[in-house]
Structure 1
Amino acid sequence: MDNPFLSIFSTQDLSNKVSEIKHKWETFITNPDNYESLENVVRREILHSWSRCQSIGINPEQRQARTALTSFELETLLSESDLYHAAKPIIDSIYDKLIGTGYLITLNDESGKMIYLKGEKDLIKKTEKINFLPGMDWSESAAGTNAIGTSIVSKMPIQVFSAEHFCEGFHPMTCSASPIFHPYTKNAIGAIDFTGFWPSTQPHTLGLAVSLAQMIEQQLLFIYQKKYKQLEEYYHQYTFKWKEHAVLVISNEAVLVNGDRTLMNTLHLKKEKTFDNHVKIQKLLQNPADFFKQAKGYQFIHLDPIIINHEEIGYLAIFQKTTGASSSMLAQSKDQQHQLIGESPEMKEILHKCRQIASVTTPILLTGETGTGKELIARYIHEVSSRSDKPFIAINCGAMQKELIGSELFGYESGTFTGGKKEGKKGKFEEANGGTIFLDEIGEMPLDMQVHLLRVLQEKEFTRLGSSKTIKIDVKVIAATHRNLEAMIEEGSFRSDLFFRLNVISFTIPSLSERKSDIIPISNHYLQLFTEKYHKPLSFRLTEKTKCFFLSYNWPGNIRELRNALEHAVIFSSSAEIEQWHLPDYLSNLPHQQSLVEAGHTSFSIMEKTEMEQIRKLLIQSKWNISAVAKELKMARSTLYRKLKKYHLKELSHVEIQ
């Protein structure tokens, strides 16, 4: 019985078989209406694939695969990919047995992007001509009929030989691939592939691909079992601490691990790791606010990453029952969350720490440059704590008159001051009782007031000015500063005992230049905010050149500077596209790096453009440390300098290092 997944059953007379298939391919390409006449002579899966390729307009003369991922995007994907971590050791272990066979082994993700390649250097060099490299798009919709993409579309293993490839540039190749399925949802999450030139064709490579895929699935099962156990423990810990919340715990590959049963029923979800649940959870993660509108009786608060051992393994969808809850408070909570935008590893780690410390009453010290969003972080800590329904009081110690800071913080009794309120006044600590007080710019607090603050932190009590009555309070204290408090202690302008009391839990908020991947999402948020604020009829967006400038600029004023620049642009722009000249003068007059990059580069090949982009991003990331970039690229400094000259990247150095 013929195997419909195999193209070649024998290695004899391969040249004639290539000619036969080439003739059938030409017949289809020149006249797709010949489909019916080819049904009995071309394998069904191949003919179906050709038809799909023809219907979406793929060029049959295509010679190369397209770039799908930059080196940085690929590196990020690999660091987070369970598939890669499961498959790489298995691929590496079998590689030695394939030396001399003329085959490369590739691992590909669920969309057909190649993420790992193993093979002999001389063979890799030959296949570079068609962009058979990690980061390239080998999906059927981008590269036509090929074993990688077609196996994922059909969800079946397949061998594709010579002219069975829809695109002529890949006719010299032969490939065998098997889809890899998620052990729980049974969704195709990738493909394992063996590729070589058609004279090396062997029927057994398809069976080997299937066996390898099954080994990877078994390793994934072990990984997921371990991960889901961790997520189950996280779920039980969270629900024990925050009983007033209803939550769902979701793995990072969009599998529902556990959740509040009533909430799941409301959302028509089951506590099952099934494909149907998986599809619903994928929609949830893409647009959680819209998805959770279905949760009647619950208010969606936020979706938080779950980070264990510095690795993001899932998400926590947090809800609050609307019964008895203040709608204004819930709206405020949602609004605050929307301003905390951060997909960078640095911000995910910060938010993870915030959730870890949310339930403790120990004082917290936030440090970092001006404008990094320390108050938003403090509000986030408050919102995810059990104090979220109590007051959050923010006070800037550097913005108050020194002689009034005592009365602002601790209040005063009737008759204490001439011109004061007759009935006296509550201080900020009293107003925050049961909730959180945020003391911004704590380094500006006068020395004589620091001793009073120390007493509050140690004794949980204070006395109003003009009174002898002690007031007990329960307040979580979060302080923040951009100053070096340890240096201030040496100068005698900050108390060491207060510093050590505040510094039990502390962390630094990264500057915007340290979290470049957040710049564009933050920009999009503020463009929408200012569009609504100024009632603009346009839907503003950054041009690609402006995005490039934003990513190269150092933003010394951090998020505050970015926000102000975008507000200026929205006010003065009459176009939906924000160009650099719409920004404040000091930014619009800076040299524009993208115009330099684009100059004279239209003749570069895809490979050269990919290399140029890789070098440019590494230079920006390393702040033009040539030695570090050369080491990362595994090339001599002299070679790197030649490439800088070739790609006109040397002209950018004065822009990048500002």
Structure 2
Amino acid sequence: MKNYFLSIFSTQDLHSKVSEIKHKWEKFVTNPSNYTNLQTVVRRQILDSWSRCQSMGINPEQKQARTALTSFELEKLLSKSDLYLAAKPIIDHIYDTLIGTGYLITLNDESGKMIYLKGEPDIMRKMEKMNFSPGMDWSEGAAGTNAIGTSIVSKKPIQVFSAEHFCEGFHPMTCSSSPIFHPYTKNVIGAIDFTGLWPSTQPHTLGLAVSLAQMIEQQLLTVYRTKYRQLEEYYHQCTLKWRDHSVLVFSNESVLVDGDPTLLNALNLKKELTFDNHLKIKELLQNPSSFMNKAEEFQFSYLNPIMINKEEMGYIAIFKNKSSTSSSMLTHSKEHHLIGESAEIKNILHKCQQIASINTPILLTGETGTGKELIARYIHEVSSKSDKPFITINCGAIQKELIGSELFGYESGTFTGGKKEGKKGKFEEANGGIIFLDEIGEMPIDLQVHLLRVLQEKEFTRLGSSKTIKIDVKVIAATNRNLEAMIEEGLFRKDLFFRLNVISFTVPSLWERKEDIIPISDYYLALFAKKYNKPLPFHLEEKTKNFFLSYKWPGNIRELRNALEHAVIFSSSAEIEKSHLPDYLASFQTQQSLSEVEHSSFSITEKAEMELIKKLLIQSGWNISAVSKELKIARSTLYRKLIKYNLKEPRSVKVQ
């Protein structure tokens, strides 16, 4: 069966093939009405592309590609490109096998702009006269028929040889390109291309391009799975914070990650990873006001970027149900879920009861995922303010420019595009109740002085106003960062720290309250059995219990919760076995002494890095090269980190 994606099946007698194709090209460009006569002698994909180029008015005598990006624009694009970050290590790795073949490898974005080029300098110099370099536009609409642009338009791999290029200036070239598809939306996000001068033509380069594109897609799938899991967790956190609101969470590729089912139905959206659904979401995100027109029973509040680890990962859309009779207070029922019988948790609950009636600021510290917000909600529930608002704001999830307006509100006319009537801030909404300032360490230092004034004077002014507003609000702040170290670095105000630190206590990690691991597990097993309509009374197998008690749980309760949800979904029996857990836990070897070193001197960031390295080492069988590539660091840097964290290879595993 003939492969219509290929132009050349044999490298014999290439000169006569070049002459033959040149003659057909001349017949078309001198008289496009020859289209019908050429159908039997020119590949359909090439002939259709020539026809598109002719209808777009592309000059067949064009000699060079056009500039699409300045070096600054290219650098900015690459810094945010998931495609580039996923593809570059793969391209660099395969490049060594191409030395001496006369081929260059290029990576191109969805519009045909070349964003990365790898090849031997002498071949690059030969291609310079055609502007075959990063930042150039190789779309079909700018450079005529060429493998990059034509594969993107057709969404199929293609080889373009010599005069099959519509523009005469590119006739010396031979190119093989395959489109790269987004693993979730399935739309074309770029193309991988092999290009050389036509005497270097090889039929196998097209297959190589297809294989490389698939490798890049697989790498992107891994990246996006991790990203979407983080966004899923963000969504679940938001549903707890905005209990009288409906929430939608999207990735920054316009993929719906999760959302309130009733709201999705009102917006005619589905949780489906289809191209049509992707286009609908993209349209809504480009024009947020259209949300209001499509869901009449909901009031669209705002669309905000989602920042995770200081990286923009997506968007959250907040809606209020117009028929809801509840106020905007983000109150919580008596389901604080502070489960456990350990001395540590009992001590915390006792402290919470002692300080509940005191209007002094409280500072909660501890690792991520330990349940600091649950403790803040418990303080609210046992206090005299339990019937008053409990307002929460994540200082690390809001853009610096928006924190002031979120905390203190603004008057009419303060912002272009702001509400005509102005807007209450979180402190005003929390009046009489409690405000929970999560990730207080992420608050910009220039805004900290305003918070200090609220704590000292019990008053504030809205942005754009001179009117002072008196308030009665209990402030609970939380952080996983070392604020005292931040003070030394000039990142946190000392006077604010002392104002917040009147009453403080550290929430212990899950590992420090091991006797609570099984009771917490039993609670979540029952919760997820109900959520996924599974009638089984789930329980942990004995081996799983032993593993849970020996594992360090670096992600604390949040990690345990996620692991149990995964297990309930994939278990078909009442017993939760280790194999039902996420892969990284199911394959975790408890006998390996990777955590024997004392870690108390490490910062939270260092601990997180150490745990990530440990996980990757175990998953890869201590393949140092693989782990360094995954972390995008040099092997020498990784070795230094192994020494720093005292991570030693088990004798049964060989370091590569």
- C-alpha separation between the residues in 1 aligned to 2:449 and 2:170? 68
- Residue 405 of structure 2: which of 379, 383, 388 is its match? 379
The alignment's TM-score, normalised by the length of structure 1, stands at 0.55
Cα distance change on mapping 1:125 and 1:503 into 2, 3 Å: farther
Identical-residue share of aligned pairs (%): 68
Residue 101 of structure 1 aligns to which amino acid in structure 2?
A: T
- 2:456 is matched with 454
Contact 1:105/1:119, CA 8 A, preserved across alignment: yes
**Match runs of 1:444-593 below 5 Å:** 454=456, 456=458, 473-474=472-473, 497=495, 500-501=498-499
Match of 1:285 in 2: 285
- Look up the match of 1:423: none
Per-residue deviation, 1:171: 0.7
The residue that corresponds to 2:168 in the other structure is: 168
Which whole-Å CA distance do the structure 2 matches of 1:68 and 1:293 have between them? 37
Per-residue CA shift, 1:199-218, capped at 9, x if unaligned? 10010100111111111111
Where does residue 147 of structure 1 map in the other structure?
Answer: 147
**Does the aligned pair in 1 maintain the 2:178–2:209 contact within 8 Å?**
yes
Q: Which residue is equivalent to 1:187?
A: 187
Q: Name the counterpart of 2:69.
A: 69
C-alpha change, 1:275 and 1:359, in structure 2 (3 Å) is farther
Contact kept, 8 Å, 1:363 with 1:476, in 2: the verdict is no
SS at match of 1:288: coil
Matches within 5 A, 1:339-354: none
Report deviation, 1:70: 1.9
Change (3 A) 1:245 1:112: same
In structure 2, the residue matched to 1:199 is 199
User: How far did 1:56 drift?
Assistant: 1.0
- What's the counterpart of residue 392 of structure 1? 424
What amino acid is aligned across from residue 41 of structure 2 in structure 1?
A: V
Q: Which amino acid aligns with 2:86?
A: A
Write the deviation string for residues 138-178 of structure 1: whole angstroms up to 9, x where unpaired. Answer: 11111110000101111111000011001111111000001
Q: Does residue 1:80 correspond to 2:106, yes or no?
A: no
Show structure 1 runs of 5+ residues with no match: 328-356, 366-371, 395-427, 458-470, 479-494, 505-658
Contact 1:60 1:168 in 2 (8 A): yes
1:38 aligns with 2:64: no
Q: Give the counterpart letter for 1:193 in structure 2.
A: D
Structure 2 distance, partners of 1:363, 1:11, is: 63
Matched residue SS, 2:289: helix
CA distance change for structure 1 residues 168 and 496 in 2, over 3 Å: closer, same or farther?
A: closer
Instruction: Describe the superposition over 1:587-644 as per-residue Cα deviations: whole angstroms up to 9, x where unpaired.
Output: xxxxxxxxxxxxxxxxxxxxxxxxxxxxxxxxxxxxxxxxxxxxxxxxxxxxxxxxxx
Aligned residue runs from structure 1 range 28-427, under 5 A: 28-323=28-323, 377-381=403-407, 392=424
Q: How far apart are residue 322 of structure 1 and its match?
A: 2.5
Residue 380 of structure 1: how far off its partner (Å): 2.9
- Assess if the C-alpha contact under 8 Å between 1:451 and 1:498 holds in 2: no
Shift of 1:324: 5.5
Asked if 1:12 is matched to 2:12, the reply is yes
Q: 1:145 to 1:363 in 2, by over 3 A?
A: closer
Q: 1:22 to 1:301 in 2, by over 3 A?
A: same
Partners of 1:29 and 1:246 in 2: CA distance: 58
Cα contact 2:110–2:191 (8 A) shared by 1: yes
Number of residue-to-residue matches in the alignment:
400
Q: Which runs of 5+ in 2 are unaligned?
A: 328-375, 377-388, 411-418, 436-445, 460-469, 478-492, 503-656
Offset of residue 310 of structure 1: 2.1
1:393 to partner: Cα distance: 7.5
Q: 1:224 to 1:359 in 2, by over 3 A?
A: farther
**Contact in 1 for aligned 2:106/2:117 (Cα 8 Å):** yes
4+ long deviations beyond 6 Å? 357-365, 388-391, 428-431, 441-445, 450-453, 475-478
2-side partners of 1:36 and 1:174: how far apart? 25
Separation (CA, whole Å) in 1 of partners of 2:125 and 2:209: 23
Q: TM-score, normalised by structure 2?
A: 0.55
Pairwise CA RMSD of aligned residues?
A: 4.2
- Aligned counterparts of 1:213 and 1:140: Cα–Cα separation in 2: 20
**How big is the shift at 1:185?**
2.4
Residues 244/46 of structure 1: CA separation in 2 closer, same or farther (3 Å cut): same
1:476 offset after TM fit, Å?
A: 6.8
- Given the superposition, is the C-alpha separation of residues 475 and 63 from structure 1 closer, same or farther in structure 2, using an over 3 Å criterion? farther
User: Are the aligned partners of 1:161 and 1:175 in contact in 2 as well (CA < 8 Å)?
Assistant: yes
CA offset at residue 291 of structure 1?
4.5
- Asked whether the 8 Å contact 1:53–1:145 carries over to 2, the reply is yes
Q: Separation in 2 of the partners of 1:473 and 1:308?
A: 32
Residue type at the aligned position of 1:474: V
Between stretches 284-293 and 173-182, larger displacement belongs to 284-293
- Give the distance between the partners of 1:41 and 1:452, measured in 2 at CA: 80
- Rounded to whole Å, the distance in 1 between the matches of 2:390 and 2:74 is 37
| Distance of 1:180 and 1:287 partners within structure 2 | 27
Cα distance in 2 between the residues matched to 1:277 and 1:284? 11
1:326-345 per-position Cα deviation (integer Å, ceiling 9, x unaligned): 99xxxxxxxxxxxxxxxxxx
Alpha-carbon distance change, 122 to 444 in structure 1, aligned in 2, over 3 angstroms: closer
Q: Using a 3 Å threshold, how does the CA distance of structure 1 residues 499 and 8 change in structure 2: closer, same or farther?
A: closer
